[in-house]
Amino acid sequence: MQSAHERAPAAEPLAGEETVRDRILRAAIEKIARKGPVATTVRDICLACDANVAAVSYYFGAKEHLVKEALLAILEPVNIARLRLLDDAQRQYAPGPAPVPLVLEALLRPLVECERSADGGRLFIRTEQHLRANPDSDYTRYVARRLDHYAQRFIDALARSMPRYTRSEVIWRYEFIRGAAMHLLGNCDPLSDKFHVLAAGHGMIDFDDNDIILKELLAIATAGIASPPAWGDAQLSRT
């Protein structure tokens, strides 16, 4: 007699209904964003979606295949939306460079407006925080290989819009803005009380107001990226 973990998955539902595969992937997305890709187990995912291990094996094979698909499902839509906005800005101002504020909005708007967990936390932000905490993880390296070309597009656009800066400085500024936005949006997570603690009763903005959050991030980013260059070619090492 087969155990619950060994039984083949049940028959698929009718067209338009959520499939077993869909349920597993959705549960994996939520769990990975909350616990991280390394700490999340197949058992965690099965318990969250009332599936069995056999179903996970049937639809995804090994855990790493499910985790990688979930990571791309969380992270790639934001980057696709970013690229769409960047392409629009570049077409609008061609043959010249797109203005820096429009490049920054293309970078930050999809981050602010990204899909949220059932409890209100931004899935992209939570997942990226786990990946950044484990820079030598196979999952972090996988994501870098698959998605870093999006970063290169933005660095190229900023370098063209900011010709007085070396590419090295553009990269530092791009990473500073991206990292600062991630940190601030992490503090907006309903699981975090950081902003309210720091405010100490003096009031705080509504963390569900994407418009005001984006406006603040763009103001900070625009001011920061325009600061004078800190170095030139003479300070660069060639590796």
Is the pLDDT confidence value at 137 over 90? Answer: yes
Q: Is residue 48 part of a domain?
A: no
Which DSSP category does 39 fall into? Answer: T
Model confidence at 239, pLDDT cuts 50, 70, 90, reads: low
Residue 161 lies in a domain: yes
54 domain-assigned: no
Longest CA–CA span in the chain (Å) reads 73
Domain residue limits at 88: 63-227
130-128-59-48 Cα dihedral, nearest 10 degrees: 60
Residue 9 in tokens: 């998955």
* Alpha helix segments (H runs only) across the chain: 20-35, 42-49, 53-60, 63-93, 100-112, 123-133, 138-161, 167-187, 194-199, 210-225
**188, part of any domain:** yes
- Is 27 in a helix, a strand, or coil? helix
Burial class of residue 126 in the structure, from the number of CB atoms within 10 Å of its CB (0-12 exposed, 13-18 middle, 19+ buried): buried
Whichever domain contains 134, its CATH number is: 1.10.357.10
Has residue 83 been placed in a domain? yes
Written as one string, the DSSP assignment of 78-137 is HHHHHHHHHHHHHHHHTTSPPPHHHHHHHHHHHHHT--B-TTS-BHHHHHHHHHHH-TTS
The answer to whether 170 touches 158, Cβ cutoff 8 Å, is: yes
Instruction: Give pLDDT tens digits for 171-224.
Output: 999 999 999 999 999 999 999 989 989 999 899 999 999 999 999 999 999 999
Residue 9 domain flag: no
How far, in Å, CA of 49 to CA of 114, rounded? Answer: 23
pLDDT at 4: 40
pTM of this structure: 0.88
pLDDT of 1 over the 80 cut? no
Tell me how far apart the alpha carbons of residues 149 and 165 are, in angstroms, rounded to a whole number.
21
- Asked if residue 238 belongs to a domain, the reply is no
Tokens (6 digits) for 109? 């708007």
Q: Which two tokens stand for residue 37?
A: 């890709």
CA 122 – CA 187 distance, rounded (Å): 11
Q: Mean per-residue pLDDT for 147-158? A: 98
pLDDT (0 to 100) of residue 30: 97
Number of domains in the chain: 1
pLDDT at 74 over 80: yes
What are the phi and psi torsion angles at 233 (to 5°)? Answer: -60, -30
Is 29 part of any domain?
A: no
Any residues with CB less than 8 A from the CB of 34 and at least 6 apart, and which? 117, 121, 126
